[in-house]
A and B are shown apart, each in its own frame.
Chain A
Amino acid sequence: MENAGRFKRWRNRRPFWGATLTLLAGLMILYIPLHLYAIAFAPGSLAFVGFLFGGLVMIMGTLAYIYPQFSTVFGVVTIFLSILSIMGALGGFIVGTIAGIIGGALCVGWRMEEVTVDEGRSGGKKTKRAKRAKDDEGTVTASST
């Protein structure tokens, strides 16, 4: 990890794929309301809710990059908003809803973990977990080499 590039290290400290998928889901959800912008601001129209849900999903994705420690909360809210976005935005033709659910789930499942790196004389590295939480079984480890 200490030899990894700057982008890789930045990516490793936050739920990168979850946040990216959430951001894409937000854009997909916004597609229909953007086409209906002329209607969205008509008095009494509910079309603005499409803007609201799509915009909030994009904000959740952005916040997951900036505050990775709250990724679980952002993930839960993303899933909730993606499902609701069927109202007023058709969920980005449902594709946005599905992308939002997967992106949100990735954010929920993401966590930061301390690992100790042992460097042998041969230069090879072994990692072992410093903390072994109950739900650690079957984790997908981000590349730590």
Chain B
Amino acid sequence: MKEETVAVGRTVKKRFWTAIAAGFLAFGAMVAVFGMNMTAVAMPLGGMGDFYVELDELQGEDFHLAPHIGETGEADEAPMVRNEIGNVDITNLHIYKDLRMPGTENWIRINITSPSVSIDGLIQDARLIDANLDFNDLAIEQSNTDEFTENWTQNAETITITDAKIVTDYLFQSVVSLEGAEISVENIDEPETMEPGV
């Protein structure tokens, strides 16, 4: 009879389940807090190619527009504009993305709608903007640099956009509040396509 001591790693079930429960409780609490007033902090939306943004009216302060190159669903490098707006209030926002169901010919559209949206620190990369635009104190600044994103910028103190349809590839908001937001999915016959000049 020989005895020896060996070190063995174990998972203590009680501690494991306590940690899991605490983790999901904290996760649920965080979702509940943000879900009650539909506020999200540092909210990115991107990495999935083109998606569409429609709105009735946008009132923004501290507007900057600069040239940009980014990826879309079809191309790694496509010409875009980068809009940065400090504070934004939107009436009747509709964001939608068309997706083909894997392995089928059917298309679905995922809709996010909200009658009243306020955003702090909006950054948006757009491939196409079809809208009525109204600026206050518009200034176009140019600088002699090899960095194409800094060659020129278009700045304005305030911007008003009405009846807009924007082909977007990236969206980032430092703080976003969506009142009465609704998320829905519907079947569609064919996906939305929108190209310049159409």
Residues of A within 8 A of B (CB): 1-2, 12-16, 18, 31-33, 35-36, 38-39, 42, 44-47, 49-50, 68, 75-76, 79-80, 82-83, 86-90, 97, 101-102, 104-106, 108-121, 127, 130, 135-142, 144
Contacts and interface: CB of A to CB of B under 8 A. Distances in A.
Given A112-B9, A116-B4, A144-B6, A79 B26 contact: yes
B10 A113 contact: yes
B4 to A, nearest CB: 5
B13 A141 contact: no
B11 interface: yes
14 contacts: A1-B8, A46-B42, A80-B26, A87-B43, A90-B43, A102-B20, A105-B20, A108-B18, A110-B10, A111-B9, A111-B11, A137-B14, A140-B10, A142-B11
A113 B11 CA distance: 10
Contacts, number: 173
A89 B9 contact: no
Contact of A1 (B6, B11, B18): B6
Contact of A15 (B9, B30, B43, B70): B9
Interface of B: 1-20, 22-24, 26-27, 30-31, 40-44, 46-47, 68, 70, 84, 121, 123, 125, 170, 172, 174
Contacts of B170: 36, 38-39
A46 B41 contact: yes
B84 A42 contact: yes
B11 A139 contact: yes
Contacts of A141: 8, 10
Given A15-B11, A50-B44, A97-B27, 20 more contacts: A12-B8, A16-B9, A35-B47, A39-B46, A44-B121, A45-B121, A45-B174, A46-B41, A47-B44, A83-B30, A87-B40, A88-B44, A109-B17, A109-B19, A112-B10, A113-B9, A118-B1, A119-B1, A139-B13, A142-B10
Given A45-B121, A46-B174, A90-B44, A116 B13 contact: no
B172 A138 contact: no
A89 B27 contact: no
B47 A32 contact: yes
B42 A88 contact: yes
Nearest to B30: A83
Contacts of A16: 9
B20 A101 contact: yes
B7 A114 contact: yes
B15 A109 contact: yes
A11 to B, nearest CB: 8
